[in-house]
Structure 1
């Protein structure tokens, strides 16, 4: 049986650059063939299940070299909890627990083998952020599996969602791994203080994690995939500030999911999943809309013309066109006659206009003077000097000026040059 691709990783372990070949058998069943990686609490091996047609699986061994006994007991607690939490959970996006056993004072977990790599390794190899559409598809799958965990009885809080714990298999399916710190949730439970900097929300630092804590971790994971930068602890910023190509809708999703206040986040995984699946409608450019309307109008007009033309020339019961050649010639003659009459009328109108313009330039106007609007001509300097009032008070000067200007307006109609003395002004003298 050909072996699987050993280039993948598992449970966020440090991947060996080249899987080291090893060979030993556990429980007279699991033939270990290679060393995949080393983690904080254990070692991961590739093995074949000799009882199930040599099916490949992953064997995780708990470390046995802790310096303090209390550290070993805590690691053993996480190790057993992972088996207890995962064993009853059956979901296509959760790695399955196949077996647990103890041998030679060592503890082992046998798990489903996932051929693929985790998101952290994939982005490092890619060297740039993932496309937004790809990130949204992965996030939808993660939100779905979170809904499954949170709907379990009792609820399961993952508490360690981060790129290195999300694997993508060869069919582009998400697989959540490493449930070492996952635990059933109870309102009055005293949760342990286990965090992953940049992906754990504030409440998890004081042991108060709830389903909304996983929402925060999903938003932080999206931030990393969209920007290529690790989010700062408790300071997840807008991913659009780093990657301007991100849409406003996705940017708002990440910011809401990573809100510091739990009540400002999405209150459930289905609520966030609904936003992830929503695709905002893009506004069509106005010019394209106008072009489409014009195109439809032209097509409709052409269709109408073709319809009526076909009706007019369709053969009747006698096999001849409804409109004969004589009728068509008669219509053409009528149209030609109407055009000629129109041209004659236009020529007559132009002739009358030309005649009126010539007469208006050569003959004097026969209209009475009273009907012609008067042209006001400004007074000459001699008239202004002659009608200057004598020196007096300012009030008398203002009054005299008013009278003079009023009379000048009237006199200018009969004395444009302003040579005749004003009657009122003469009386005053």
Structure 2
């Protein structure tokens, strides 16, 4: 009787172990991983993607683009690859990852051949895309802190969009069965725009298909999302259900019927959602190019909007913690004097830093009496310069910098505060100056 009992006990232990594995929390994942609606790095720091798409498979010689995209403030780049079914095959994945890492960018890798499957006859299936990723496993393993695998671009067209459910779940299971630990990204059907709401209404099914609980969903926003109401309604559903989401592609409102990019970036900032704009350069439709001929010194209207807008990349991007970023830098914050009656005080901090550039923020606080305006001044000790600013008018003369309130943030009640931000350049050192505040 002892042996059957032992056998039963062993079976029960195996069953319990299987259950424990199947409900393994996302925090057990290697490298980048999902936690609720957030994407976290291995050390637990939140990563909010701010970047662009780069059409690498069609322009493999444009390797300088990685450095240029980083220099404009991005923390992530989504890189177009090919399986060989339509484009490629991309056999240079190791080089692409190296370029991302050299330039301190999180690398979202996607295969483009799947675009419009079921409607586009030449498209690859998600199963074929999974086979491609498996063929690249040797160069992907060990890069889980730097690489996100985007299963396939816009993998289903408008014909029988519901096939997306089984195809996406199957691709996720196939990669997990082959030992992939990476954060996976699943694009929506309907050429990425999910206008039939197949992804929205079956999101939990896809998330549950991942034994690692490490998949983020991705919506592409173009003309279907041409109003604030359409954008917020879609995002509200994901937020209410606690589903992880990124905006993996979007364009800009170049006419009244196109995507409302200003609402997208504003909502992304408010909700803490990542976004990856399309695209750096080289489109057959050049109106979606951010640069002219891959030249970062020739930003198009779209490039100016996405990089320099109030909710754009420069204003909201923080370098990944795996590269030493995470929104904090080494300078010690300046301790401001206690506000005096009728006066104001200011604190200065660096919120992000990269080679040759940084992002800063100044908080202005009214004293024990209300003020109707403010001026903040400081002097740099290390040759830094301010190159762009928002929520204040900032001017410079040599090392001296002067910032004055805008019409909408000058009046502050007693003890109330406002902030303004800026981008700057530095070389060698980037110590924090001591700002002074003068009420108007």
TM-score by length of 2: 0.22
Higher helix residue share: 1
Which structure has more relative contact order (CA 8 Å, sep 6+)? It is 2
Pair member with larger Rg: 1
Higher strand residue share: 2
